[in-house]
Structures are given as structure tokens and as C-alpha cells.
Amino acid sequence: MSEKEKIQRADSGSSRSVKKIAIVGLPNTGKSQVFNNLTGEYTLVANYPLTTVEMKRTGCEINGEQYEVIDTPGLHCLYIHSEEELIVRDMIFKEAPDIIIQCIDANQLKQSLTLTADLLELGFPMVITLNAVDETARAGVWIDSNVLSGILDVPVVESVAVNGFGIKELKSVISRARRGRIALHYDEIVEDGISAIESELPAEMSFKRKVAILLLLADPFLVDYLREKYGQEMISRLQKEVGRLRGKFRGDFGLAINKKRSQWVAETAEKATKKQKMAPGKFSKAFGRLSRHPVFGIPILAFFLVTTFLLVTHVAGFLDKILSVVLLDPTVGYITRLLPSGFWNEFLVGDYGILTLGLFNAIVTILPILSVFFLMFGFLEDIGYIPNLCVLTKRIFARIGLTGKSIMPLVLGFGCKTMATLTTRGLQSRKEKFIAIYLIAFALPCSAQMGVDMAIFGRIGFKAFMIGYGSLVLIELCAGLVLNKIIKDEEKSDFIQELPAIRVPSPKAIATKTYYRLYWFLKEAIPIFLIAAAALFLLDKTGILDLTKMLMRPIVEDWLGLPRDILDVLILAIARHEAAAGLTLKMVDAGALNYVQCIVTVVITTMFVPCFANVVAMCKQLGIKTGLAMAFAINISAFFLAGILNWILVFTIGR
């Protein structure tokens, strides 16, 4: 899936007259949702952090004025912890947006106010949107937005972004964005230090005060940035000055500054918040706790898996049948009557027909499966279930060398592998990054793949699903163990992962998300399906296909134990995994694959060739050479391991 490209597609006709609005906030506070609401575009949203890893920009009109709106990845404060955050800070410093909209999750007011303090210190005109107020209200907490607005001196709008509430108000206050006010004065000695560094900074530089503070805090990324821009000499002078100040001040600047800010945050939050004495008991809280519980978490996971499996098998199977009856059969019948046989009949509706293998494969076979699966997956995403998996799987991942920050990308790989590969950018340890990218690309099925895999297994039973996916898990773990052994150790990264609150999802939001995912699938996949079918048709007609099948016979028939026609599936897999799965389904229905062959086919197509967008992302993270080498290694291992699986299955359950 290349949702990534959708998200990256950044077209901005930025001219100076267009004002820039940047939407910033902590991770998982609804920035992308506000972006969608403001601009009428659609970026993927979900109830967990790291959904947005790249900037997205678009032009839009608000109250008759043209703006360029920028959606950003999460930012905790201006002192940076990860690469994603760095991009956001760089954007703020370099582009100096005209207006900043800060998204605050009302459940996490204090955490967000830390960022507010930083932004106010920078002196940008700001508007605050206080999101998810419905949830705080239910929990018995009331945040007085008027008081908050009074303290900060910027407009504060209450909103429930998922339902689009509060967006009108937000639009109406945008023109009233203000610089705000913050009474944050540090101790005399810290203030002296700040002004001493400020005076050393180049005159034309903006945000001197904040830069000086960050230098006192020894922000490593900022030093690199300044070195690049102003040269080593400048940096040496600054570092000498900072060193002198640090020596003079026997305390720690970081602590002194953080402490002042924390005090301000605590006071502000206290003034703006009123709490009921009794908070109603929350089902969702209990559910969250159970879903990551070492004992109860597993049945919950199994429940979701089985439900999804049954839905995909039965509901999608039913839809498939209806579509076949009303769409596929009449069309094929009509064409056959019109063109009884010959080249055109074969080209359109033959074995490799552009309609049968191309268009109808996508619409009749794959679309129903993905609709059902994406609905279910969107539901799981929006209640905030998925990140809890990183708690459940933590120990297992530690065994295979993934300790800290790399767990979340791997869990996100079940959504879209390309996006997950991009989130590994934040990993500092090269070893972890390498292992994570390899494992994401290897035996991990992405959501679309999982959907169609389930449909295939649905034809032959749940036990096959357990065997097939069990093998994939085993393969993934072994690959992790091997990689962990052969790559030399580095320092472990810290594992600190915020878990989103379990929410009651909005049906409308899930429907919208599913709609867009299917729309992107159709728009992107149908041309590829058609081209792939045409290519297969051409290969078949010229005889190349038969020749290749004959040459590959020892591998396909003897080693993998599959019929030689499976090569068609593998060729289609190079184009699109869903297309391959569609053809596999057809072969299963036609009785061309037996039980073991069916499992082996699913396992090999899940591992074989990561999709094109994923390979691009791999090259982007690791460099072209390593990326391609890794893709190659994955393909070789896919054939090797699928063969081993075949022989094990043949000896244990027989042909």
C-alpha cells in the first residue's frame, strides 16, 4: 500500500501573500483531524501516536482569505527527542508560520501546556483548540476555556474534532490569533545567562531568546544546525560561553528552567480545571487495562483476530457472490456471446484476460474483502487498541534485539509497511533500525495483505489460518534472532511509549477512513491490475511464460511443491500483492491447490517481494544499496523458507 505517497503529496502554491498556518501539538492530539476539518482534504487519522510522520501542506480558503495549512508530526516541546520532532521545529524556525494552531487533548492538558509555554515564548500568533472535551466531560473534568484563554491571552476553542464540532468556531477565531502572554521569568542568574548568550548570537537571527535557552540546555540537534548555518567558529565561541556559564552556575540550567516551566504549567492547569469529586467509572479504562494484561490480553487479541477472520470469510464471501452474479457472470456471458472465441475473447475474458484477471479481480474479488477488513481494522485503530500490542509483545521483541523505540514501528507495520518503515527514521541505533526495517518488510503482513490472506484461509478453514500465520510468526522470530546474533550490539534505546486512551469510536470517522482507503486502493491498484494482466497475457502469447515455468520447475514444483501455474501468482505479486491473492483465490476455488499448497502459497506471497513503495522507503532509510540488497535477501529467504515449510507440512500432515 502506498498511503505514504498520498500523505507525502505536498503541493503548495506558496506565494508570499498566502498566510501560513501550522497545526502543532503533542502526538495523538488530533492535529490531522483538525487539518482535515479545516481544509476538507483527507489525511489518514487514527487513535495512536505516529500516524503522521511527514508534513502535509495544502492551500485552502477560510472566511474568504487564502491560507496554506501545514499538518505536522507530534511535538512534545521545543527541546527535541526524535527526528520527527526535529522536522517540526525546523519548520517552525525556518518558515516562521504566520499563525500556529496548537491542538491540545483536554485529557492531557498539563502535558500540552509545556509545549504552549515554549510556543508562547517564541511569540507566534496562536490559537488553541481544546480537543476531546466530550471525554473530559464524561470523566468529570471541566476545563474552563475562557479562563485558559484569559491566562494565555490567546483564543481557545473547545472542540470534538472527530465529529467536526468546534471547527466553525476555530475558523472564526483564526483571524484573531494573538501573540499571547507568558509570565515566565527565570532566576536572575539564568536570565543573565540567557542574555549573555543572546548577545553572542548573530544579529539577524530570529527567536534569539529561545535559541539561547536551548543552547543552555545543550540541545544536540540545534548545535548541528547552527554549525551548518553559521560555521564552526561561531559554535566554538558559543560553546565556550555556554561552558563558562555552566561552570559559573553551580546548579543545572535544565532543571532550573524546567522547574520554572513546570510551576507555570501546574498553576495554569489548576486555574483552568475544575474536577468533580466523583468520576464515573470508566469501562474504556478497564478495557484498556485488560487488553494489555498478560493473561486477559491474549484472549482479547484472539477474539479480534477470529472476529475479523469470520467477517472477512463470510461477509466478504457473500458480497463476492452477489457481485459475481450481478456483475461478473453477465458481463463474461455477454462478451462470450459477442466474441465466441479467438484473440479478443482471450484478451478480455480468457485465463489472463484483462477483465477477468484485471478489472474484475480487483472489483469483484478484492474490493469486498478489503471493505470488510478495513472497516474492522479502522475500528481497532480508532478505539486505540493497536499500540497496546507493543506492551503484550515487548518481551518477545526484546529477545530479537528490539528494545526501545523500534517496537512501535513494527506494531504499526500491521497497518501499512511503508509508513512503518518511515517511522524508523527516529531510531538512533543503526542495529535496531536495520532489524526493524528488515522485519517490517519480511514476514509481516500489512493490513491489505492480511485481509486477503484471511479470505484465502477462509476457503479452507481456521486451522489453516493458524498454521499459516503461526509459521509466519515463527519465521519472523527466527529472522529476528538471527539478525540479532549477527549484527554487533550497540547501546540500547529507551522504551517509553505513550498509550492512547481507549475511546468510543465515531462510526462516521471509521466509515470515512474506510472509504478513503478503498478509494486509494481502486485509484492506485486498478491500473496496475490491468497492466499486470496485460503483461501476463503477452508473456503467455509469446511463449515466454511457458518457458519460464519450465525453467523454474525444479524450484516451484520440487522444492515448493506447488503447481507450476503458481508462477502467475508470483509474477502478479511483483505488481501488487492483492492481485496475486485474487488469483490464488481463484485457483483455490477451481481446486488447483490442495491444503498444504494453499498454506505454502499464502506464506510465500506474504514474504515475497515487499511492495514497491516499501522498497522505496527502505532505500530512503538505509541508502539505495543496502535497501536493494535487503529486498533481495528477503526474496531469497522467502523461497528458501517456504520450501522448508512445504516439506515440514508434507511430512506432518501429508499431501
The verdict on 292 binding other proteins (CB under 8 A) reads yes
Query: Contact region for other proteins (CB under 8 A) — 105-113, 548-556, 609-617, 630-638?
Result: 105-113
> How far is it, in rounded angstroms, from Cα 593 to Cα 604?
14
Q: Which stretch binds other proteins (CB under 8 A): 365-373, 492-500, 543-551, 613-621?
A: 492-500
- Which residue lies nearer to other proteins by CB, 217 or 631? 217
Q: Tell me whether residue 404 or residue 610 sits nearer to other proteins (CB atom).
A: 404
Show the cell assigned to 422.
518511515
Q: Is 108 in the site for other proteins (CB under 8 A)?
A: yes
Residue 608 is classified by DSSP as: S
Q: From CA 36, how far away is CA 27, in angstroms rounded? A: 16
CB atoms within 10 A of CB 551: 11
Minimum distance, C-beta of residue 232 to other proteins, in the bound complex (Å): 22
- For residues 163 and 393, which CB has a smaller minimum distance to other proteins in the complex? 393
The cell 487498541 sits on which residue? 385
The C-alpha atoms of residue 407 and residue 397 are separated, in whole angstroms, by 7
In the complex with other proteins, the residue whose CB is nearer, 292 or 425, is 292
Residue for grid cell 505488481:
575
In a 3-state reduction of DSSP, which class is residue 204? Answer: coil
Measure the CA–CA gap between 209 and 22, rounded to whole angstroms: 21
Strand-pair partners of 129: 103, 157
289 binds other proteins (CB under 8 A): yes
Query: 511, 509, 415, 514: which is closest to 132 by C-alpha?
Result: 509
Residue number with CB closer to other proteins (68 or 135): 135
CA of residue 284 relative to chain centroid, distance: 24
* Nearest distance in Å: CB 292, other proteins: 6
Which three cell numbers mark 37?
A: 476539518
In the complex with other proteins, which residue's Cβ is closer, 251 or 527? Answer: 251
CB of 399 to other proteins, least distance (A): 11
Closest by CA position to 286, among listed 296, 278, 276, 277? 296
Residue type, 40: G
Contact criterion met (CB below 8 Å) for 171 and 62: yes
Q: Which of 11, 204, 494, 543 binds other proteins (CB under 8 A)?
A: 494
Query: Per CB under 8 A, does 273 bind other proteins?
Result: no
Task: Look up cell 489548576; give the residue.
Answer: 270
Least CB distance to other proteins at residue 255 (A): 5
Part in contact with other proteins (CB under 8 A); list of ranges 58-66, 177-185, 387-395, 590-598: 387-395
**x/- track of binding to other proteins for residues 191-230 (CB under 8 A):** --------------------------xx-x----------
Which residues in the 110-149 window bind other proteins by CB under 8 A?
110-111, 114
- Between 459 and 492, CB nearer to other proteins: 492
38 forms beta bridges with: none
35-94 residues in contact with other proteins (CB under 8 A) are 76-77, 79, 81
Is residue 505 near other proteins by the rule CB under 8 A?
A: no
Q: How far is the CB of 422 from other proteins (least distance, A)?
A: 21
Which position among 138, 209, 260, 394 is part of the footprint of other proteins (CB under 8 A)?
394
Do the Cβ atoms of 242 and 197 come closer than 8 Å?
Answer: yes
Among 284, 331, 393, 635, contact with other proteins (rule: CB under 8 A): 393
58 or 268, CB closer to other proteins? Answer: 268
# of chain residues touching other proteins (CB under 8 A):
42
- Cβ proximity to other proteins: between 499 and 650 the closer is 499
| Cβ distance to other proteins smaller for residue 247 or 280 | 247
Of 408 and 649, which has the nearer Cβ to other proteins? 408
Cell of 644: 522448508
Grid cell listed for 473: 510468526
In whole angstroms, the minimum distance from the beta carbon of 269 to other proteins comes to 9
Q: Which residue, 405 or 549, has its beta carbon nearer to other proteins? A: 405
C-alpha 11/C-alpha 364 separation (Å) is 34
Residues 232-271 within binding reach of other proteins (CB under 8 A): 247, 250-252, 254-255, 258, 262
C-alpha dihedral sign at 635, 640, 643, 648: negative
Helix (H) or strand (E) holding 20: strand 19-25
Identity of the residue, 413 or 468, whose beta carbon is nearer to other proteins in the bound complex: 413
Is 496 one of the binding residues for other proteins (CB under 8 A)?
yes
Residue 193 CB contacts under 8 Å (≥ 6 apart), including other chains: 212, 216, 245, 249, 253
Burial of residue 215, with CB atoms counted within 10 A of its CB: 0-12 exposed, 13-18 middle, 19 or more buried: buried
Question: Can residue 541 be called a binding residue for other proteins (CB under 8 A)?
Answer: no
Taking the complex as a whole, how short is the minimal distance between the CB of residue 259 and other proteins, in angstroms? 8
Closest to other proteins by CB, 181 vs 240, is 240
User: Smallest distance from the beta carbon of 397 to other proteins, in angstroms?
Assistant: 10
In whole angstroms, how close is the CB of 213 to other proteins at the nearest point? Answer: 13
Pairing of strands 141-143, 273-275: antiparallel
Task: For residue 274, state whether it binds other proteins (rule: CB under 8 A).
Answer: no
Asked if 196 and 245 touch (Cβ cutoff 8 Å), the reply is: yes
Please state at what angle helix 109-122 crosses helix 208-216, rounded to 10 degrees. Answer: 120
Q: Is 489 in the site for other proteins (CB under 8 A)?
A: no
Which ranges constitute the DSSP H helices of 339-404?
Answer: 343-349, 360, 367-383, 389-392, 394-399
State which of residues 294, 543, 591, 654 lies at the interface with other proteins (CB under 8 A). 294
Question: How far is residue 279's CA from residue 244's CA, in Å, rounded to a whole number?
Answer: 51
The site map against other proteins for 403-442 (x = CB under 8 A) is xx--------------------------------------
> Which residues have C-beta within 8 Å of that of residue 494, sequence separation ≥ 6?
404, 405
Q: How far is the CB of 464 from other proteins (least distance, A)?
A: 29
Q: What are phi and psi for residue 67, nearest 5 degrees?
A: -135, 155
Binding positions for other proteins, rule: CB under 8 A: 76-77, 79, 81, 107-108, 110-111, 114, 217-218, 220, 247, 250-252, 254-255, 258, 262, 275, 277, 288-289, 292-294, 390-395, 403-404, 494-499, 501
